[in-house]
Amino acid sequence: MRWRVKISGVASWLMLGLCLAVMLSGARADAYQQDQAGFGPTSPGVSSIVIDAATGDVIAQHGADIPRYPASLAKLMTLDLAFQALRDGKTTLDTMIPVSYHAASVEPVKLGLRPGSSISVRDAILAMTTMSANDAATALGEYLGGGSEARFAQMMTLRAHALGMAQTEFYNASGLPDPNQVSTARDLAILARNIVIDYPQFQPFFEVEKFNFRGEEVYSNNGMLKLYPGTTGMKTGYTDLARHNLVTTAQRDGRVLIGVVLHEPSWGASYDQMTAMLNSGFDGPFNPPDTAVAAAAPVAQPYQAPLRLARATRPQFHTRGIWADQLGMFHHIGSARVEAMNVHNMHGIGTPRIARIEQNGHVIWNAQLADLSLGAAYQTCDEVSARGDKCRVIPADSSHVAMVVASDLGT
C-alpha cells in the first residue's frame, strides 16, 4: 500500500506538470494568435508615427497603438527622470553614482563597469545617448530609485502614465527584455516630445557622436545623426523580439518633427523609413496654426504642453510681412528652438526661425519669429518684453543675424 501511495504521489506531480505545460502552451498559443491578429508585441508589420513637436499634431501614423517591446527606447524614460532630477537640483552632472554588482552584470551592450566602482551622472547619460550602455542605465536607475531598479521602474511607469502614455509599462531602466515591458509608437512620441519641450538644456546630449570615457572613445550608434541633415537625436533600440526601433527628432527652418518606427527588420529599413517619414512631414502640405485647424487629433489629450495656447487669443490683424522679432542668442539649439516656438504659439503667427552662428570660436543659436507685418512684429515684441524677455523688431533679412551682439545671449 505504501508503494501505491508513492506511485500515486508521483503520478499527481506528473499530472500537475502536464496541466501546467498545457496551460503554458495555451498561453503561448494565445500570444501567438494575438500577434498574428496584429495586436501583440511581435505581431507582423511595423508601427510608426510622426508628429509636430510644437503642436503635438499627428502628421502620419501606422499601427501606432500596437503594443511593442521598446528595447533600449526605454532609456528615454530613464533619461527623462534624470533630466527632471537635474532640473530640480536633486543631483548634478558631476555627482558620482555607485555601480552595483547587478548593474555591472547586465547583458551587453555596456561600458564594462566594475562592481564597486562609480560613474558620473554626465558619463552615464552620455553612455546611454551614444552607445546605449545597459550597465550605465541600470546604475543610473538604481541611483534615482534609491538603490532599487524595481522601485525606479515603478517611477518610470508612473511618469509614463502621467504624461498620457496609457499603454506603456516599464520593468527596468535599460530596456533589456521583459515580457511585460511594452510601449507604443504613439506613447514613445509623447515621451520624446516631453523631452524636447521640457528639457531643451539637455538637447546636446542627443547630438553627441562620440565622447571620451576613461581614455577610450565611445561612439554613437545612431546613424541618423550622419544620414539625415537636421537630425538632433534621439535613440535607437534593438532586441531579437523587439527588432529594430528608432526615435528621431529633426528640425528644418525652425520646425521640429518627431518620428518613431518600431519592429523594423533591419537598421537600413529603419533609417529609410524614418527618412521618408521626415521628408514627407517637412515637405508635404502643412497648415500653420493661424490659418487652419489641423485635421489630426493631438498625440495625447491628458498631456498639455506649455507651448500650446488657446486659439481665441490670436490677434485680428494682418500678420504677414517682411519683418521679424529678434528673440535672442542661445548656447543650446533646444533653448533657441523652444523660445521661437513659444513666441510663435502666443498668437500662432509668423515663422519660427533658428540659425547657427559661430562667434569667437563658439557655436551659438539665433532665434527669430519672421514673416511678420510691422504692426504684428511690434505687438508681439511688446508682449515678449512685458514678460521680461528680450525682443527687438528687425527687417527679416539674414544679414541682420550677424549684427546680434553677445549681450543678447540667453540660457
Which of 132, 174, 270, 335 is catalytic? The answer is: 132
What per-residue string of b and e applies to 168-191 under the rule 16 or more CB within 10 Å gives b? bbbbbbbbbeeeebbbbbbbbbbb
**Residue 118 annotated in active site:** no
Q: Which residues contact 265 (CB under 8 A, 6 or more apart)?
A: 243, 244
Q: How many CB atoms lie within 10 A of CB 229?
A: 7
Q: Which residue has the cell 562592481?
A: 115
**Residue 148 annotated in active site:** no
Which of 43, 48, 72, 270 is catalytic? The answer is: 72
CA Rg value for the chain: 25
Which of 75, 100, 110, 220 is catalytic? The answer is: 75
Dihedral (C-alpha) 106, 111, 115, 116: value to the nearest 10 degrees?
-140
List Cβ<8 Å contacts ≥24 apart for 148-152. Answer: 149/102, 149/103, 149/173, 152/78, 152/81
**Residue 132 annotated in active site:** yes
> Alpha-carbon distance 130 to 121, whole Å?
14
What distances in angstroms separate CA 366 from CA 36, 320, 369, 394, one per listed residue? 50, 21, 10, 13
Cell of 398: 539674414
Active site residues: 72, 75, 132
